[in-house]
Structure 1
């Protein structure tokens, strides 16, 4: 890894995400690095859409500190603290900001599918068939951004959470690379990577990858790449070949409610390796040497509590678990004196536990673990 002797400083501004009931603007700080090459890919990175998932902010800090010593070719915008409403949604010592308290909807499922644009791609392409590939991409990007603006300004209004999400999405649509930084409850690091871009998983400092379909499920990464994948697929049927113009990933940076600056630097270096590979910075940054494993999203399984009780989480996240080995032990004090008081539970197949529920007190049906099955090595 080599760094230049030059210094790049981020410009700081504020993004308005909505209004509070008192009439004050809801804002978040935006940090922007101006690239020197207009042909280089542009980048948008956000963190902390879920209130308790704070480690991404530390990663952005470490990344911006590193970027000061590199030659930046493509524009980079970083938005930590992207959801002030979720961050400030506290109850005692816990942060509850995973769901919009007004609607109950997951903050990360509020993005806009652009269904009208996608269904109209054949007609739009016919109207714009005279454009070059670069002009077509620029026109489609402008179409997506304008659609977000119209969504926000429509005469019927939109919910608080949807407004925040579409505002973030509008910024993401300006970029060629979109990174959404999250964490799990008690979690190993893992990456959500679309099927069309599996090779990208080899650059981030993340040992596990979930290979997701090239579709839309409501999250930011899908909202960013899905319209472009649809455009690329249709153009291919018309003998017009080009790569999907936008790359988007969700990085799950271990567990929530923690800040680890040394760990954040390792993840920032992984992001820097990917940005180097894509030509966003001039210098060469090699990815960390580490084994990387993946599974398809259909093989990412949820285990739900078979009964209520108190739970000992026996399986360590990020460590392979053989079929029949203990996953959890369930304690039921109301059944003391019987064989049902203490129950060991295992799974019928080999897996890698990726995350588990944060609390040791659970209802029947609580999602206790998510595990990777049919795991393969990513090279």
Structure 2
């Protein structure tokens, strides 16, 4: 039986002087040539379901033959997790700067032309090793910036340093009120058929601030530049964000299904020796440019009519808005619809909204993803 080794990593210090730490669990693989994996969860305080998925993954891995090293970082943001207000967990934004915790990662902005010119004599394996070392050292240098860095940026770069040391990176999140969906880079869309997730957002191969982009973008840039110089290889590192339904929720049975989907992908990649087949399900995709936000046309109390994960025909009710201040007039109750066919993916958690609140995110121009 394979057992996880527990440790921790310091990601900052509290005002009291106490160390701010994140627990780590590691499985050592038996094959040094197998891909290595880094999986984190709970970067946003209320998004706890990823911890249940990690629990199920570690439990299952104890009975499997692990070939590649796997590192888990549950409870990845102790500051956000402990940011409570009454019965609610806030923890989406750094309370010091107001920045989204998942937008504080380091944009390397590698001068790929110059770097490749200095290293093009290396074999592919040597090239990848040198590039990875450069990314890791750049993160460590960032942490040692003589002018210092913000609390949130230090947390993010500490996590990013660990992620850069892996070949496969999974960042586990949830939405407010959400169905499951996967963020997948355009060049790696084939991977979507393994996860137990019905909807996939296909994102550009560029940096937008999130963990997955912080990991795969430098490697995509290296791959494309090498190709322009007549050298061809696949992008060596894969990174995805998995949105595991709604926040403030733990569902261990559902977590087991998502864990099996992750294991199907890890099996396909040769991280574990066991053969795990992906769930038989229809999967759909949408390009990020066709992922639309719907904002409240006016303030009020909102009844969310459209179910997440269910196709919605143009003209069907999306929300009903109740305005008690307009009681006695025709404007007291208004049905609002979306002007085109879509699939609602997530909606705002509260029924009380200001004008301009982002009520829904919906997929449009949805298409089926081949299963093979």
Matched, 1:53 2:47: yes
Distance 1:192 1:296 in 2: 10
Distance 2:3 2:342 in 1: 44
Q: 1:157-306 maps to which residues of 2 (within 5 A)?
A: 157-306=148-297
- 1:103 is matched with 97
Displacement of 1:190 after TM fit?
Answer: 0.1
Indicate yes or no: 2:306 matched with 1:312: no
Q: TM-score, normalised by structure 1?
A: 0.97
Q: What is aligned with 2:25?
A: 31
Matched, 1:12 2:6: yes
Q: Distance in 1 between matches of 2:79 and 2:323?
A: 37
Q: What RMSD in Å do the two structures reach over aligned CA positions?
A: 0.4
TM-score by length of 2: 0.99
Tell me the matched-pair count. 370
**Which whole-Å deviations, capped at 9, do the CAs of 1:288-342 have from their partners, x for residues lacking one?**
0000001000000000000000000000000000000000000000001111000
Describe the superposition over 1:205-260 as per-residue Cα deviations: whole angstroms up to 9, x where unpaired.
00000000000000000000000000000000011100001000000000000000
Shift of 1:270: 0.3
**What displacement does 1:374 show?**
0.1
* Unaligned ranges ≥5, structure 1: 1-6
- The Cα of 1:130 is off from its aligned counterpart by 1.3
| Corresponding residue for residue 63 of structure 1 | 57
Unmatched tracts of structure 2, length 5 or more: none
Aligned residue number for residue 147 of structure 2: 156
